[in-house]
């Protein structure tokens, strides 16, 4: 059984890494957004980042354990990452731009994984 999990992890490693990077970028961006003077205007974006953080963490976990449902979850992760990237891209802050870029990369990897 360990050989199966090891090969699964290797197969999905790029997507796992992208999910973890996206989760980190969203956490950092969310923390920075909470300190911005227009924080009240960012509530929808902050909520979206929270969703993105959660789905990325869960996707990485499911891929890491070789879940039979990881591909389905990664399809949803790609959708949420795309939405988060769109929200973050509306702000000019460096942290928002970096977050949007990581979200786009994660969505791309999740689409590859779930194909």
Delimit the domains of the chain by residue range. 2-114
What's the pLDDT at 5? 53
CATH class of 2-114: mainly alpha
Burial (CB < 10 A; 0-12, 13-18, 19+), residue 63, is buried
Is the pLDDT confidence value at 1 over 50?
A: no
Confidence of residue 6 (pLDDT cuts 50, 70, 90): low
State which H helix or E strand residue 68 sits in: none
- Tens digits of residue pLDDT in 55-109: 999 999 999 999 999 999 999 999 999 999 999 999 999 999 999 999 999 999 9
Structure tokens at 2: 């360990």
Helix 2-33 × helix 43-64 angle, to 10°: 170
For the residues 40-66, what does the mean pLDDT come to? 96
Q: Which residue has the tokens 């973050």?
A: 88
Express as a percent the part of the chain with pLDDT over 90.
86
Q: What is the pTM of this model?
A: 0.91
Query: Residue 3: is its pLDDT beyond 60?
Result: no
Average pLDDT, the chain: 93
């Amino acid at each position: 059984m360990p050989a199966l999990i090891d090969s699964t992890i290797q197969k999905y490693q790029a997507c796992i890494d992208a999910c973890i990077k996206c989760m980190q970028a969203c956490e950092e961006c969310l923390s920075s957004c909470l300190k911005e003077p227009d924080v009240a205007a960012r509530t929808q974006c902050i909520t979206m980042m929270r969703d993105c953080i959660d789905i990325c963490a869960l996707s990485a976990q499911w891929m890491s354990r070789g879940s039979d449902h990881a591909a389905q979850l990664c399809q949803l992760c790609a959708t949420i990452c795309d939405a988060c990237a769109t929200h973050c891209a509306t702000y000019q802050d460096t942290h928002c731009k970096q977050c949007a870029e990581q979200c786009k990369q994660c969505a791309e990897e999740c689409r590859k994984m779930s194909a």
